[in-house]
Every structure is written in C-alpha cells, then in structure tokens.
Structure 1
Amino acid sequence: MNEPPVVTTAAGAVRGFWREDAGAASAAFLGIPFAQPPTGDLRFAAPVPVPPWQGVRDATAYGATPHRNAEGITLIPEPSIPGESTLNVNVFTPRPADSAARLPVLVYIHGGGFTSGSPASPWYDGRAFNRDGVVTVTVSYRLGFDGFGAIEGAPSNRGVRDWLAGLEWVRQNIAAFGGDPERVTIAGQSAGGGAVLALLGMPAAQHLFRAAIALSAAIADVRPPRAARAARRLATLAGVPATRAGFASVPEERLSALQEAAGRPETAGRLAPVRDLLDQGPPWGPLVDGDLLPQPTLEALAAGVGADKPLVIGATDDEFTGVTEGLHKTLRFVPASIAVGLVLPDRVTRRGYLAANRPQRRLGTAAVLGRFVTDRIFRSLVMRVAQARATASAPTWVYRFSWVSPTKHWAMHCVDVPFWFDCLDADGVAAIAGDAPPRALADAVHGSAVAFLREGDPGWTPWTSQPGATRVFGGAASAPDVIADGYAGVQPLVS
C-alpha cells in the first residue's frame, strides 16, 4: 500500500488511491470516463466510447456530474460537480489489478426523479461492500430533458443508453479491478430502482447483469404522446423550435431550469400535480419508444423478460408521508375518506383501501394521505412486480423497511440507504437517522445485500415460493422478521 494502485483498462491506465475501513484496505478509482463528454455535436447523441489515452490517468477525484443544480442538499447529500466529462464511473475495490480475484460486482444507479442526483454521494462509497468482498461501481447518466426528452432527429432514451454504456464498460473492464463480469448485480434506489426495473425488463440489457435489487423503485414508462407534449412546451418556454438544432442552441443549465415548468400538468388546481404524478408518472424518464423499451416495464416482466434473473425488491413504509406531514393541521378536521377521494375517485377502491389501512387512519388524515401516495407510487409497484414475475424461473424476494427515523418521524424515503450501504458515520446521515442509528439494523440490511450479491439469496423466503412473504427490517421488536402478507395494505390498489 506504499504505492498508489494502478489498473489498466481497455482505454488506458488509471491511478486510484488506498483507504481503510475497520482495518480492511480497499482502493477507489474515481471519475473514469466510459463515454466522451456529451457536448457540442455529441449533445443529444448516443454515448460515444472514449478514445485511448497514453500514460496513467489520475482517478483520485470525482468526475463532473450531469446534475447541475447546486441549490442545497437533499435527504441524500449528492454534490453537483462542474465540468463537461459527465459520463463516468467510480470503482471501489479490495483487489485492484487482480484479475484472478473474480469477486461479485455491485453496479449502483443513483436516484433523483430522473432529473437530479449524483453518483458522487459519500453514501454511495463502496468501502463497506469492499470490506465484505464485493467490488462496487457507481455510474452517472444524463438527466432530465438532455437524458430523456423526446427530440426529433435524436436517439431516444439517451439516459438509458448511458446505463447500457456504463454496464458495457463494466463488462469489459471490471476483471482488471478484481471483479467478475459474470457476477454483476445492478441496484438502485428511487428513480435508480426504476432504472433497475427498466433494465430488468429490457431485452437489450439482459447480457449485462445476472441479478437485480430495486429499493423504493419508481418507474416512469413515459408514453410518446406525453413526452412529445412536454418537449413542445419546453421549446415554447425556451423560445426555440422543437428540433434537435433548436434545443441544442439552449445551454443545458437553461433547459434544466425550464424542464420542471414544462412537465407540469396543464390543468389548474393545487392537487393537479399530485393527480398528474399518480396517474401518469414523471414527465421525464425512460420512454416506451418501441426500440430500447418495446413495452412498459410491468408488461415486459409479465411476458418473461428478465425471468432468469433473481430480484430483491421493497420499499420503506412511508416514502411520502414526510411531505404530507406539513398538512397535519390543515387536514386534522377533514375525514380521510374525503382527502383520499380527491386523488382516488373510485369509491369501491377507496373504501377497500381505507379498510385495509385502519392503523394508519389512527395517525390522522395527513398520515393516511401520505401512505396512499406512498402506496400508489412505490409499495403497490412492489406487489405488481412480484406478481408479474410469479412464473419466473428465478426467485423474487420482497422486503419492507419499517424503522422510524427519530428526526423525520417516519420510515421515509431514503432513510434506508445508509443502512443498506452500512455508512452510518457518513456525512449527512445524522440528519435523517439521528445521532445513534441502530448498528444491528445496518448489519441486517447490509448483510442481506451482501448475501444476495455473493450467494444469490438474501436469507428469507422468496415471494415466488410463498406469495406475500415479506422480510420486515426495523419493525417492532416483538414482531417476526418475516411475515406472511407484508403488503396486504396495498392489495385494494392492485386488485
């Protein structure tokens, strides 16, 4: 460890740096480009391979990120790093330059609603997985309109093509970092979990990984008419023709600033954005283009795409409730049936849902509304995916994360991530998990991930063997770890 580690990739040599975790040494290689900068003529193009370089390239600092919004910190600290070479990977490995090691590989795709997020988060550092014998890679991809907008004359799903290019880079180069290209598991949280499901259901991606983990997945499956409307509105706001040349004349930062307004629903009312999100999903994200995504994700999974790949999927109990908590005083005298009725007009479904969630109703209408949005976007998807893969040849395991944050007061969106990465001492964790997050919970959550990555089994009964079987992380001390029907509360939304 006296000399910095050097690894030779297909494009050239890279120099990383050593570090330690609990006495275990590992190396980090940051900002390695897997494609040329998507600027100039390559803006809105499919990713183009990097030309070879001479000498040893320094890989000791994170590369530029596609995320351009540096305003504040979200629940997960995800820094925005300026620069043009935004398509890069970060590799964390305990066995650099040891092609005989053949360690399992985790490729992690960050979230952020397909419009933000960063692979350079300190939470995504793979040191804990390295300690446990897993090579870890984080990958960047183009975001928002630049990554996913529909543009006449430009390839669709550029962000998706970035995922594929990053995975192709892993397949070609990861052995040089001590990893096994035949033992790659893709994982992601939120939009990153949606990316995982999109890849799982994508015929063109099947040779690039062997297993998948989707945490709090949110899929987009944007339909062409919606994508076309949003692109036209963005062009109008930017004052340019809705063509490749027109959009290319607008700086990326400008389009990024306008894309939120362009994606808003055209109908008025305070609840219009919520209804639009629930009914149609986000305006920017993977597009069902008939090419890379021939059909919506759930249809692809039900048709058997990805059926040979093991899957772990789950969500936190109250992904969205922290948002609606601010409405507690406003809604305290409003019956839950009326509040939920504003976004769930079907009376029969509404009655069934409220009956299945009586414990949540005792927490107030704001809590019920937050749980409903959570269930519509995240938790019902868990059940739908498990059901779509009912006849798959590979198992599906389902979990819930139920530990309540002492600072945010809910088992909310993102609170599970530092436990999964076992990075409880990382910057920003105390804000979401308190000053003393339970070590035993991190051991259980992270340990199950390691077991799946290494052995192909996270350690509980799969849904495919016993429909409804759910591992509950961080539940009541007196409750069993595995319950028979962990997503019964969302059944009325799935039936």
Structure 2
Amino acid sequence: MTGTETVATPAGTIVGLRGARMRRFLGIPYAEAPTGARRFAAPVPRARFTHPFDATRPGATAQRVPLSATTTVPEPSIAGDDILNLAVDAPLAHGTPAPLPVLVWIHGGGFLAGSPASPWYDGRSFVRDGVVRVTVGHRLGVDGFAPLDGVPANLGLRDLLLALDWVRENIAAFGGDPERITVAGQSAGGAAVLALLSSPAGRGRFRGAVCLSGGFFDAGPPDGFLERLGDRLGVAPTRAGFLGCPPERVQRAVLDVRGDDALVLGPVAGDDVLPVPVADGLAAHGHDVPLLLGATGDEFDTPSDPVGRAAGTRVTDTLFRSACPRAAAARRHAPAGTWLYSFEWPSPVSGGSAHCTDLPFFFDLLDAPGVPEALGTDPPAGLAARMHADLVAFVHDGTPAWGRATGRTGDPAREYGRPGAPQVADTTGVFDPVVPDREEPAC
C-alpha cells in the first residue's frame, strides 16, 4: 500500500490504505468494545465516528491464545479491547461503476480461537475479480458461546448478525452492493454460516451462503465442562465468576480443560437466535438463499490407502463430511438450491487433503505466508484458479455450474484435485454413506 484513502460512510469518515489496485480498511469497529458491563451482554452498535477513524492498522482480535503453538492457518493475535471489528478490501473507486457483490468471511478456530487478520484471508484476488471482501471478528469461547444464566445465548452469533447489519448499511460507500452479500466461513466459521442460515434472525441479512468444512456444532458444552473450567480458574462457573477473569486467562483455561474434546463451546439452540437445532432450522429457514458447502477429503485424518479413507467412522465423516448431505436433505425443497463440493488434492506435507488446506486455493493465495509449510513448494496454481473462479462465480450469481444436491444417495458434487482424475470434475455419490441402507444419508 502506497498511500491513504478516505471514505465517507453512514458510520462516519474512515481513513484506510490505498494501493495500486485496491483499497484496504482495517479494524473498523462495528460495535462498542465488549468490556466491563458489556462483556457478557448483547453487542451494541458502535456510535457514529465524530472524527475520521484510522483504519490503517489491523484491529484487535478476540483470540488471545491460539489453539496450539503451531496452526495450519497463520493466526496472529492482536491486543486491544475493540475486538468487534471488521476489515474491507475493495477495488479502487472509478467514477460511479455498478456496485459489486460482497463476500463476508468468518474465520475458523473451533469457536475458541482463530484470527480474521490471517494473511490467508487477504482479499486481493477477490478484489481483482470484482468482489468486495469483508472479514469479521466476533467473541470466542466463554465470552462468545458459554451458556450462562443471565447472559444472552450465542453472543458470538449476535456479534455476526450486528456486523452484517453494519455491512448492509455501509458497504455501498466502498463500492459494494448491500443486496448482494454472501456470508462464508470455514470450519467453525462454516458452522456459524449454517447457524445463521438456519436462524430466523438471519433472514434478509445475506443473499448467499458458503460453508467450507463446517458442521452442526450446536450440541453445547460437554457435561460438567463449565464446572471443571470454573474449578480450574478458582471461580464459580457463572457470569460473575468469569467476569472477574481476564479473557486471556479464561482462554488458556479452556484449552487446558478441554482435553480430547474437539468441540467444547459453540452455538446452542433454544433462544431467539437459534430456536431449534441447526439441522431443524435449515429445514425451515433460509430457503431463498443459495448454499454452497463441502469438505476436504481427509480433514483431520490422512490415511495412506483408499480402504482407510472409506472407513466411515472417522472424525472427518462424523463432524464434517456428514453435514453436507444432511444440510442438502434439510433444504431439499429450498428454491434457491444447495450445491456440494469435495476437495481431494493430497498435500505432500500431510499426505492427504487435510483440514484448512483448501483455503489458499479458494482464496487463490498460493503465495501467502505459511502456504509452503502446509502445501509444499509447488501446489497446483491451475487448481487454485479454478476453485477461486467457482467461488467468485457463486458470489456473483449464486448458481454453480454443476447439479444441485438434495441429500439423496448419488447426489451430484464437484471434486477438486482427486489424484488420477481431472483437476476439476463433476461426479456423483461423493458424500454417500458407506452403507447406503436408506434414501436419506445416515447422520
């Protein structure tokens, strides 16, 4: 970036960065900082800026502690209280061109960690292809998803809903079309997309939905988890107890206490945001919103032989791949349609198509920091171009080039990078259950 760029928006004047081909606005608060009495309260819209807001530096992240010392996706933690912020990458302004579609990206991290400031979410390839890209931060872990008495449930989802409102109200100033917003995310971010799509509160806030390696992660914390967490922290497992602990200390304790449990905190059903479980909500809401969803072939396990890959009892199938036909079945009668994909390219580093390794392809960012460590030194650029083009096309018009899925055996899907096949191939049955003993796939 070589200079600054000033934009007048309904939220106030915002000063960002200007480069040769794009504009970038970082760390824009969409809500008041969730500190003090606001820490365990519903988000409050940020007051209009009375002075130009400096959006030239990344905003604070809710993540204080990463999931592990080394993560596949580079996930920087940035200190500060204003964690409810977003960033916008947009084309340069030229006269009065037609408004562009908008991609709102939600990061992963098990609802416990992750960072919207990752270089893997850079929007330059989307901007190049006529899309305004927005990344969003929201509350995580106990602060965002612990079911506590006297605390509104699903605070992290409430943050995202408010962020979408901000985008609808302000994105036109950046060249975006508020009526063409696609919400997308990966892993926990993909699960958040499914939750928003299944929620009556999501209606009218976005026009398209993309779920990469997400699932129905709305079971609530394991029995006794909050009590064990309180014991670890030496406080009661209540709003008052956790309010007395800094977020970093709470996040470290969550990671210590969760043990082998992959998912300990996330969306919970039973409030106004998620009145019913996500799977049931998908059958009732969001039928006017096209959905693109899929998973990697191996996610968290990378067996070296085809027989092992088809085992069907693995974490990959239970948490991630099974969500694809289940979502398609729930939306069988949705006029807007559902489309499936499967990412099959085996990284020479992991030996399989592992969790997160599809992200640099969908973002067309094979030159991003950390990519060689995850994908090796020569990932196929042609595959990235094709996958990115499919996602861009979906954001533009919401109608992929392959057949719709309905949750039945033999559903159509698009395969990316399967060894021995074309880089991109349309096929059927990729998400069929191992033993297809009924029309609708087993959960």
Instruction: Bin the TM-score by the shorter chain.
Output: over 0.9
Structure 2: segments with no counterpart, 5+ residues? none
Q: Which residue of 2 aligns with 1:231?
A: 226
Secondary structure of 2:352's partner? coil
Q: Which residue of 1 aligns with 2:398?
A: 456
* Counterpart Cα distance in 1 of 2:239 and 2:99: 43
Letter in structure 2 aligned against 1:240: V
Secondary structure of 2:224's partner? helix
Are 1:481 and 2:397 matched, yes or no? no
Q: Alpha-carbon deviation of 1:95? A: 4.1
TM-aligned CA distance change 1:199 to 1:97, over 3 Å: farther
Do the aligned partners of 1:99 and 1:176 also contact (CA within 8 Å) in 2?
no
Q: Where do 1:393-432 residues align within 5 Å?
A: 393-432=335-374
Do the aligned partners of 1:320 and 1:371 also contact (CA within 8 Å) in 2?
no
What is the TM-score normalised by the length of structure 1?
Answer: 0.83
Are 1:142 and 2:139 matched, yes or no? yes
* Counterpart Cα distance in 2 of 1:465 and 1:232: 39
Secondary structure of 2:178's partner? strand
* Counterpart Cα distance in 2 of 1:238 and 1:232: 10
TM-aligned CA distance change 1:310 to 1:117, over 3 Å: same
Match of 2:279 among 295, 298, 309: 298
Moved more, 474-483 or 74-83: 474-483
The share of aligned pairs that are identical, in percent, is 46
Q: Alpha-carbon deviation of 1:435? A: 1.0
Q: Where do 1:125-274 residues align within 5 Å?
A: 125-223=122-220, 226=221, 229-264=224-259, 273=260
Q: Which residue of 2 aligns with 1:346?
A: none
Letter in structure 1 aligned against 2:188: A
* Counterpart Cα distance in 2 of 1:45 and 1:98: 42
TM-aligned CA distance change 1:241 to 1:150, over 3 Å: same
Do the aligned partners of 1:98 and 1:176 also contact (CA within 8 Å) in 2?
no
TM-aligned CA distance change 1:98 to 1:207, over 3 Å: farther
* Counterpart Cα distance in 2 of 1:90 and 1:44: 24
Quote the RMSD (CA, aligned, Å). Answer: 2.3
Secondary structure of 1:172's partner? helix
Q: Alpha-carbon deviation of 1:260? A: 3.1
What is the TM-score normalised by the length of structure 2?
Answer: 0.92
Secondary structure of 2:26's partner? strand
Q: Alpha-carbon deviation of 1:461? A: 1.5
* Counterpart Cα distance in 2 of 1:32 and 1:98: 25
* Counterpart Cα distance in 1 of 2:377 and 2:179: 40
Q: Alpha-carbon deviation of 1:236? A: 2.4
Do the aligned partners of 2:326 and 2:407 also contact (CA within 8 Å) in 1?
no
Q: Which residue of 2 aligns with 1:46?
A: 42
Match of 2:31 among 28, 35, 40: 35
Match of 1:284 among 249, 265, 287: 265
* Counterpart Cα distance in 2 of 1:370 and 1:443: 31
Normalized per residue, the structure richer in helix is 1
* Counterpart Cα distance in 1 of 2:96 and 2:159: 25
Letter in structure 1 aligned against 2:333: T
Q: Alpha-carbon deviation of 1:97? A: 9.0
Q: Which residue of 2 aligns with 1:469?
A: 412
Do the aligned partners of 1:318 and 1:371 also contact (CA within 8 Å) in 2?
no
Are 1:389 and 2:331 matched, yes or no? yes
TM-aligned CA distance change 1:132 to 1:143, over 3 Å: same
Are 1:446 and 2:388 matched, yes or no? yes
Secondary structure of 2:4's partner? coil
* Counterpart Cα distance in 1 of 2:271 and 2:186: 25
Q: Which residue of 2 aligns with 1:343?
A: none
TM-aligned CA distance change 1:2 to 1:214, over 3 Å: closer
Letter in structure 1 aligned against 2:228: R
* Counterpart Cα distance in 1 of 2:93 and 2:107: 24
Structure 1: segments with no counterpart, 5+ residues? 265-272, 329-358
* Counterpart Cα distance in 2 of 1:62 and 1:411: 31
